[in-house]
Amino acid sequence: MKTSNIIAIALGIFIVGGMLTYFIDQKIYEVNHTNPNALRKDISLPPFSVIVAEKNSDLHVEQSDSNKLSIEYYKESIIPSKLYTISKDTLYVYSGLRLFLKCKNVNTIIGRKHFWMGVTNVAPKDLKIDMSDGDFYYYNTDSIAKRVSNLSVEARDSAFLEINDRFVENITINSDSARVKIETTTKNITAKLKNKAILNFNNNFQNLAVEKDQTSCYGIGMD
């Protein structure tokens, strides 16, 4: 067999194999994330302004005109007896099942070694985010009239945070061994980085002030 034919056959096998692997991965993802057997239990909640996601919790947060917690479960699931508590002005959520939260007046979001947290359109004038470990994603896709003016970010213990917004006037970051990615237009960024902290941001800012130790780094468009 000619060498050119062998190369063509090998290339064809590689491409087909890659496509098959991608197809299988996509099917596994769809089964895991869009299972038609998933059910939800809705619970109305009293007012609160602080959210605390405890260890290994999986929480999806969305701005709304009411406070409601939806618990995702399956027919064969055993629903833990303690998935949330409310104390004073604070909602605590716990691990066990995936939770979907609609909230009205939240200004502080805390993660304590949570597994995953996504926050959409929660945009008070002053927003505080405090994360220890875990992944955190923030998106504000609401109208430009509703936006955060002052964003305070505390990140530590290998946490990963990604902040996406149209415009935030002032962003203050204190990161200790965490990675923070800022994708927003802003006037002022002030940051303190230590213990291998990484700060990544776009170039849509006016003023930048960064203090860091020798182990930490920051830059525009870093991966």
Domain spans in the chain, listed from the N-terminal domain onward: 1-34, 38-220
C-alpha 83/C-alpha 92 separation (Å) is: 8
| Torsion sign across C-alpha atoms 164, 150, 94, 141 | negative
What average pLDDT does this structure show over 102-106? 95
C-alpha 126/C-alpha 106 separation (Å) is: 10
Query: Are the C-beta atoms of 98 and 79 separated by less than 8 Å?
Result: no
How confident is the model at residue 203, as a pLDDT?
Answer: 75
Q: How confident is the model at residue 87 (pLDDT cuts 50, 70, 90)?
A: very high
Summarize pLDDT for 11-45 with one digit per residue, the tens: 344 333 433 433 333 333 333 444 667 899 999 99
The helix/strand/coil state of 93 is strand
Q: Does position 98 have pLDDT exceeding 80, yes or no?
A: yes
Higher pLDDT, 78 or 207: 207
Q: Please list the residues that pair with 173 across neighbouring strands.
A: 153, 191
DSSP string across 105-158: S--EEEEES-SEEEEES---SEEEEEEESSEEEEE--S-TTS--SEEEEEEETT
**Pairing relationship of beta strands 198-201 and 50-53 according to DSSP bridges:** unpaired
How confident is the model at residue 9, as a pLDDT?
Answer: 44
What average pLDDT does this structure show over 71-92? 91
How confident is the model at residue 22, as a pLDDT?
Answer: 34
| Cα–Cα distance list, 122 to 48, 195, 206 (Å) | 13, 30, 24
How confident is the model at residue 38, as a pLDDT?
Answer: 85
C-alpha 35/C-alpha 77 separation (Å) is: 13
Q: Please report, rounded to a whole number, the percentage of residues in the chain having pLDDT higher than 90.
A: 70
Q: Share the mean pLDDT of the chain.
A: 85
What average pLDDT does this structure show over 129-143? 91
| Cα–Cα distance list, 66 to 5, 119, 172 (Å) | 65, 16, 29
Summarize pLDDT for 148-203 with one digit per residue, the tens: 999 999 999 999 999 999 899 999 999 999 999 999 999 999 999 999 999 999 87
- Rounded to two decimals, what is the model's pTM? 0.82
Token pair belonging to 134: 């875990």
| Torsion sign across C-alpha atoms 175, 178, 179, 183 | negative
- CATH top class, domain 38-220: mainly beta
Q: Please report, rounded to a whole number, the percentage of residues in the chain having pLDDT higher than 70.
A: 81
